[in-house]
Structure 1
Amino acid sequence: MSNAPCTVRRATAADVPAIAAVTDAAYRPYIARIGLVPQPMEADHAADVAAGRVYVTGEPDVIGLVVVEARPGHLFLDSIAVHPAAHGQGVGRGLLGFVDEHARGLGLPEVRLYTHVSMVENQRIYPRYGYEIVERRVDGPYDRIHYRKRLSAV
């Protein structure tokens, strides 16, 4: 799959158990490091799917997903999760590419996201895909680094 394009589709209600499982598998390792449950693990996956915010990849089994929300002036990437068994196969890269194209399709000039300061792996990944740090901010119990990616009008 690393050289194949990532096929992404809008999630359906039937995907909710897989979305929960992939999110749990992707974020569970961070609990001990950050000292609390990462917010995506506590999301209402069924409500996000019903709102049309979730896109998945993987057939027949979901192996990756993004949760996005169109906001004024940008697309917010609320969560990206790849099942650990699929790491290194280009799934995350494909999902990030999908997010860029989705934002462009909506006429939005940038993508924004944040990651917990203790998720150092993400801090190495996002700049490689064109994201720049905007700020570090504490939101409730979460110490986050906020990023943005300005999109070219392709």
Structure 2
Amino acid sequence: MRLAEPTDKAAVERLVHDAYSPWIEVVGMRPLPMEADYGAFIAAGRVHVTDALDGLVVLVPEDGVLLVENVAVRPDRQGKGLGRALMAYAEEEARRLGLPALRLYTNTRMAANIALYESLGYVETGRMGIDGRSAVMMRKQLTP
């Protein structure tokens, strides 16, 4: 894993587009990660990519928690454990930053993603509307 560089912007945007395009029909609109400003995320040092640029995780430190803003895996690599590895990396980063918990949100219609996060120890903390979408808020407390 490494931090994305400005020269990675097009590849990052393509990865996010390819990973989230299948969800457009399910959600009924473009998922929020497809609307993000990856130039700004990269400039802020928030985008962590695999060396092969086949997966990424966007991490945003907050007060007492690390926000997993986005996890994306290239479609031909999905279902092979890369998403789980990216989430494990997020936990390592939270620990490195001294943050005791992680949080994330995902669309209520992304049942497979919700099930994955639950299997990783995340619990639902609520639901809310975000930009015309319905989101499940989830959190994982890290063990010391």
TM-score using structure 1 length: 0.90
What amino acid maps onto 2:76 in structure 1?
A
User: Within the alignment, does 1:146 sit opposite 2:137 as a pair?
Assistant: yes
What amino acid maps onto 2:37 in structure 1?
D
What amino acid maps onto 1:46 in structure 2?
G
Listed one character per residue, the Cα deviations across residues 61-107 of structure 1 (whole Å, up to 9, x for unaligned) are x1000111000010001100000111122211110010001001111
CA RMSD, Structure 1 to Structure 2 (Å): 0.9
What amino acid maps onto 1:96 in structure 2?
M
- Shift in Å, 1:28: 0.7
> Which residue, 93, 103, 127 being the options, matches 2:84?
93
User: Within the alignment, does 1:134 sit opposite 2:86 as a pair?
Assistant: no
- Shift in Å, 1:17: 1.0
- 1:15-26 → structure 2 map (5 Å cutoff): 15-26=8-19
Q: State the alpha-carbon separation in 2 of the partners of residues 140 and 13 from structure 1.
A: 27
**DSSP-derived class of the 1:135 partner:** strand
- 1:29-68 → structure 2 map (5 Å cutoff): 29-59=22-52, 62-68=53-59
Q: State the alpha-carbon separation in 2 of the partners of residues 92 and 136 from structure 1.
A: 23
Q: Which residue in 2 is equivalent to 1:116?
A: 107
5+ long unaligned stretches in structure 1: 1-7
TM-score using structure 2 length: 0.96
Q: State the alpha-carbon separation in 1 of the partners of residues 70 and 20 from structure 2.
A: 10
User: Within the alignment, does 1:10 sit opposite 2:15 as a pair?
Assistant: no
